[in-house]
Copies of this chain bind each other. A is one copy, B any other.
Amino acid sequence: MATFIEDGEREAIEAIRRTVRPGGDARSMRDDAAVLEGGLVISTDCVTFQRHMSEGMGWERFGWTAAAVNISDIASMGARPIGFLAAMALPEDMDSDDIAQIASGMDQCAEFAGTHVVGGDTKPGPGVIAGTALGDMEGRRPMTRDGMRPGDLIAVTGTLGGPAAGMLALENDIEAEGCVLALWVPIPRVEEGIALSSTGKVTSCIDLSDGLSTCLNTLCSESSCGVVVEWDLLPIADGVREVCDSVGHDLKAAVMDWGGEYELLFSFAKADIEALRATGIDFSVIGVAVEDGGVLLRRDEKYQEVGYGSY
């Protein structure tokens, strides 16, 4: 018998998928969020004090993060958020003011996303906040992970590597305010997701919460094709190179293998690029989908295979 950690999270999720009867739409549990009848989109995910609370972050930002990770999951489907809930298992010696700070952070993130904290629960426990975000497709087609086709362009919103560099900066006591904020205050790409899905031209989409390497592999696996990514096209955030240089951390690892980013990774047919540009959403094309071959990174004229990241 294998344990959770030996098998890995992906295998545990596969075991769960095999166990439960299929529900919702046919792609239930293969996307960032589930799509239900009537275009409802729902996702749940938890953050733990141990894994997601970093020194200096503060409870308000932790609350924001607990909301952001879930809102990001429905944003990547193109849904408009219509409610957020949190089930909290909190240490018995936790200060009540700190709990209110968490609630305040969740409320601010919900407000940023145009919605509200509508419910939740607290009980004594080991320091886990499980959030649930509910959204509405408003008639748009949900962006899933399985529609990427050979020849499609691959793109990301925003910039990459900020959260990883932020963590490195904190660990090594280096000044890198922008990167640290990217780590502490992840921005769910709600308006971007809505705008992208409203074009009807996006063939696949996923949020980068598991990191670029893993997410590229996931899109390839779900869409049954490969991708070639150009290193020189990756929109690396300001300060990331400097932080990696000063602490001797591999830049590629920071940009591709670290999770905790909430940009959207998506694909579309080359012919549709003008329709995508017309949304006004800021994005960077980083590669192209190919027939097969998994994920290849082209850097300095050489190709290297990219596996799932460690996050």
A119-B29 contact in complex given A36-B83, A86-B44, A126-B48, C-beta closer than 8 Å: yes
User: Per-residue CB proximity of A1-30 to B under 8 Å, as 1/0?
Assistant: 111111101011101101111111000110
The residue in chain B whose Cβ has the minimal distance to the Cβ of A6 is B96
B99 with A4: CB separation less than 8 A? yes
Return the contact of A134 from the options B4, B117, B134 (Cβ within 8 A): B134
Give how many copies assemble into the complex: 2
B3 with A95: CB separation less than 8 A? yes
B128 with A12: CB separation less than 8 A? no
Judged by a CB distance under 8 angstroms, whether A127 is at the interface is: yes
A51-B96 contact in complex given A86-B44, A87-B46, A87-B130, C-beta closer than 8 Å: no
Judged by a CB distance under 8 angstroms, whether A169 is at the interface is: no
Judged by a CB distance under 8 angstroms, whether A196 is at the interface is: no
Min C-beta distance of A105 to chain B, whole Å: 10
> How distant is the Cα of A38 from the Cα of B43 in the complex, in angstroms?
19
Considering the complex, which residues of chain A in the window 103-124 have a beta carbon less than 8 Å from any beta carbon of chain B? 103-104, 106-107, 110-111, 115-124
A103 with B19: CB separation less than 8 A? yes
Judged by a CB distance under 8 angstroms, whether A300 is at the interface is: no
User: Per-residue CB proximity of A67-106 to B under 8 Å, as 1/0?
Assistant: 0000000000000001101111111111111011001101
> How distant is the Cα of A91 from the Cα of B28 in the complex, in angstroms?
25
Return the contact of A128 from the options B24, B99, B126, B134 (Cβ within 8 A): B126
> Is chain A's binding surface mostly helix, strand, loop or mixed?
mixed
Min C-beta distance of A47 to chain B, whole Å: 9
Judged by a CB distance under 8 angstroms, whether A243 is at the interface is: no
Return the contact of A99 from the options B15, B23, B44, B127 (Cβ within 8 A): B15
> How distant is the Cα of A107 from the Cα of B28 in the complex, in angstroms?
14
> How distant is the Cα of A23 from the Cα of B120 in the complex, in angstroms?
12
A118 with B23: CB separation less than 8 A? yes
A34-B118 contact in complex given A21-B111, A107-B19, A124-B4, C-beta closer than 8 Å: yes
Q: Which of A's residues lie within 8 Å of B, judged by CB?
A: 1-7, 9, 11-13, 15-16, 18-24, 28-29, 33-34, 36-37, 40, 42-46, 48, 50-51, 82-83, 85-97, 99-100, 103-104, 106-107, 110-111, 115-128, 130-132, 134
Other A-B contacts than A1-B97, A3-B94, A16-B117, 6 sampled, CB-CB below 8 A, are A4-B96, A21-B107, A46-B121, A46-B125, A87-B132, A89-B130
